Structure 1
């Protein structure tokens, strides 16, 4: 359901999908499609396969594209495909293949490990945006990349017609507010990349979230974002505080280790990971189960 660049908006709740694996390490495409359809039925606005939550670092390029194709084929909501790399040529190739696989937009992490300067980051993103006719989200997560994407760089990138969003996972709300302030006149959406910061970012003018917790509690995340976007901040605050224990529990170890354990506990797959990630430590399992027990299904179906 590829959109034209001019018509695209990136608002609402976009679960950062996990990639399920069989016991032999191969991708469980049946579970992947089931997960995608469960999230769609819960009312999410789109899906994000092959980000860091999807263990993109441990799949081959062919597997990467096959996951995108499977999700695109399973749902009718927009699919925002992870396609980043610390190698611009590789990111460009993955972006082309994601577009050919039917992705509606791209999520592009800042190059990691090689720590380019701000000019290098800007040119990296502009190279992809010049070449691929899809809406693109730049993704700032300095804890993984080793380099912050400075507000001035984001503001410059927002001027590109295809760079239409920013995923904020840097933990600096002042920086996020600065970016929102400077891009209000652009067609540019700012989405929270940290669940605990979704409500504050929405209150400043952000448009939604790319969410880990939405894999487990999609209806509550949709209710939170919907309440905030409609101006019902009493309801949004209530949901934010209700979900706080889950937000914290899902980051007790490296993402996606806890969320895959949570999904397995909730009956959504087996929780298998690919090395070098290891299963959730035993001392964290019982507290996670206790947190999950807090959430009764919301009216309208399972969470």
Structure 2
């Protein structure tokens, strides 16, 4: 059942931002414009409540509210809900409620504290005993989780738990990990890649099925994938290279999430670029710098920092 529902999970699945008002309250109305922005730029689905979606700053009830609104405006697109939590009870609650609301799948990253392969197998045995046949994306993100999963171990997980239909691969170096995963698993599961799309052309060339990333120009992510699929890697690299300065600029941890949200505010996808506290607050100079980088992707533009507020 899980593999059947995720077998066509290819192409761009954007890691969506969570909109907030300036005071930190949820901005549910902006989910509508944000979703339209993503779908209008080639997203086949969304992954919501991921790390860059500030999931850890939401209560369980808020997470379900956010999921429900994204699902309401999905218009046939796939919605994957991040449910990772140090609390197994919270993971299960959010997963069940999100699936009841109409989500297509959940995404789970193993929690910190898992030290051995057997610990990991026991953990997922406990998870799937509770969420049963829920279609699942396994997130391999050791920089965040501290948990390292070898390709043979990931094959054990897929063998034991057929609910796992997609692997989100974010271990580094991702390209060699993708090659090893294909050797271990063939095409039994889909592989989508994260790390904000920084290595997307090489990952697609190694056999990834698409990006699961949150870059503020999703049309680049979808375009690079589609050009590779059409057999034109040269054009895909040209499109990627044009966006590389901003892509690199966004790759700055939590500050990069603030940058990404500001880019999308400037592009009309968000009413407010605020992150929920604790989180960075951009200055007027930061915002002018971002505007300059956006302009330079289409025209040459001189930035004068002395004119900023």
What TM-score results when the alignment is normalised by the length of structure 1? 0.88
Give the equivalent residue in structure 2 for 1:204: 206
- Alignment of structure 1 residues 142-291 onto 2, 5 Å: 142-159=142-159, 160-172=161-173, 173-186=175-188, 188-194=189-195, 195-213=197-215, 216-254=216-254, 255-267=256-268, 268-280=270-282, 284-291=286-293
How far did residue 138 of structure 1 move? 0.8
Gaps in structure 2 of 5+ consecutive residues: 299-309
Q: Aligned partners of 2:282 and 2:80: how far apart in 1?
A: 28
Q: Aligned partners of 1:166 and 1:88: how far apart in 2?
A: 20
- Alignment of structure 1 residues 12-161 onto 2, 5 Å: 12-76=11-75, 77-112=77-112, 114-130=113-129, 131-159=131-159, 160-161=161-162
How far did residue 74 of structure 1 move? 0.7
Matched-pair contact (CA < 8 Å) for 1:12–1:225: yes
Q: Aligned partners of 1:93 and 1:124: how far apart in 2?
A: 16
How far did residue 122 of structure 1 move? 2.9
SS in 2 for 1:79: strand
Matched-pair contact (CA < 8 Å) for 1:14–1:48: yes
How far did residue 207 of structure 1 move? 0.3
Gaps in structure 1 of 5+ consecutive residues: 297-303
Q: Aligned partners of 2:293 and 2:118: how far apart in 1?
A: 44
Cα–Cα, structure 1 residues 120 and 22, in superposed 2: closer, same or farther, change >3 Å? same
Q: Aligned partners of 2:146 and 2:5: how far apart in 1?
A: 34
How far did residue 147 of structure 1 move? 2.1
Cα-Cα RMSD: 2.1
Matched-pair contact (CA < 8 Å) for 1:118–1:150: no
Deviations 1:175-203 (A, max 9, x none): 222112211142x0111112112221111
Cα–Cα, structure 1 residues 146 and 281, in superposed 2: closer, same or farther, change >3 Å? farther
What TM-score results when the alignment is normalised by the length of structure 2? 0.87
Deviations 1:116-161 (A, max 9, x none): 4332223323433453323211112122112222222211122232
Give the equivalent residue in structure 1 for 2:304: none
